[in-house]
Amino acid sequence: MMRSDPRALQLNEQGQLKHFLTLDGLSKEILTEILDRAESFLSMGEQSVKKVPLLRGKTVVNLFFENSTRTRTTFELAAKRLSADVINLNIATSATSKGESLLDTLQNLQAMQSDMFVVRHQDSGAPHFIAEHCTPNVAIINAGDGRHAHPTQAMLDMLTIRRHKGQFEGLKVAIVGDILHSRVARSELHALKTLGVEEVRLVGPKTLVPAFFRDMGAVICHDLKAGLDDVDVVVMLRLQKERMAGALLPSESEFYRLYGLTEESLAWAKPDAIVMHPGPINRGVEISSEVADGDQAVILDQVTNGIAVRMAVMSMAMSGQVQEQQATGEEG
């Protein structure tokens, strides 16, 4: 489904974000702008009126072909705090499930004068495909596609790291678990390398941590102790059993014995290391309850930061679309 270069597709002629499809190829300046803008939105959660008018009069469609309560809810909250009108399309009961093609659904939604599609799809490249075929004035935000990318999750994790560690330079980060099936791991690797961390380690069994990730700048570790040694940040990933074909794991209990994050294994990291998890958590499979609920866990901070990051991305993409329309109008 992947066609033209998503890096070129998601920026307007002024170099501003107009779609948000992948972090691959985006500059450090754009990623930092997302984080800085998200910081400015964080305080809104403490206000009595949690709204700004940046998307007033705009219609945002949550187009989720794959279930995700947490991601869809935070995108909906983000859009509403930007004063947008929000439509949640139930794909299970939509015409798409009755045989209508993705392009047919897209054209019908465009006919309703929608301004932004937040797309989650089980196929890698679906948001990119939609961005290629939608009308020029519609912004596309990738809310997770197949094994390819989950850029807003990666950016909310970057915001969480920056707020707890202050900077990225000099940090060592371990991402542990099901790397093979994880779009989060791919997006985080791009983000961390772009923002200048010292080292990113991908930790897990050989069946779930392919060697080609070395070509993306990662250090691969198949031993948990070596992977966690002296790291500043530990990101635990969910075992995505629904995506696994064949016997990639002997058993969940064996995985937990070798790669589960417990108080004992967390002690291999730095004493002030933070523990993150994109959710949903499988307690006793990839992480113990003591660690998930412990002082070093910042998992609930990630959820809070997710609303601010999604507000930042949506407002930047809409602004980029408006700038491009104005530039096109002036040229015409």
The rounded distance, in Å, linking the Cα atoms of 100 and 267 is 53
Tracing tokens 């791991």 back to the chain, one arrives at 185
The rounded distance, in Å, linking the Cα atoms of 36 and 93 is 39
Does 280 carry a binding-site annotation? Answer: yes
- Find out whether 119 and 130 touch, Cβ atoms under 8 Å: yes
**Quick one: how far is CA 81 from the chain centroid?**
19
The rounded distance, in Å, linking the Cα atoms of 36 and 322 is 21
The rounded distance, in Å, linking the Cα atoms of 197 and 171 is 5
- Find out whether 235 and 182 touch, Cβ atoms under 8 Å: no
Does 153 carry a binding-site annotation? Answer: yes
Does 71 carry a binding-site annotation? Answer: yes
Does 196 carry a binding-site annotation? Answer: no
E strands, 83-131, are 85-90, 116-121
Give, as one character, the DSSP assignment of residue 87: E
Q: Is 99 left (phi over 0), alpha (psi -120 to 50) or beta?
A: left
Two structure tokens written together for 277: 């998890």
- Find out whether 331 and 53 touch, Cβ atoms under 8 Å: no
Give the residue among 291, 43, 20 at the shortest CA–CA distance from 153: 20
The rounded distance, in Å, linking the Cα atoms of 164 and 196 is 16
Q: How far is CA 176 from CA 44, 139, 277, in A?
A: 33, 33, 10
Give the residue among 98, 129, 235 at the shortest CA–CA distance from 175: 235
Does 150 carry a binding-site annotation? Answer: yes
Query: What type of residue sits at position 265?
Result: S
Does 98 carry a binding-site annotation? Answer: yes
- Find out whether 303 and 157 touch, Cβ atoms under 8 Å: no
Does 328 carry a binding-site annotation? Answer: no
Q: Binding site for carbamoyl phosphate: what residues are annotated?
A: 70-71, 120, 150, 153, 279-280
Q: Binding site for L-aspartate: what residues are annotated?
A: 98, 183, 238
Q: Binding site: what residues are annotated?
A: 70-71, 98, 120, 150, 153, 183, 238, 279-280
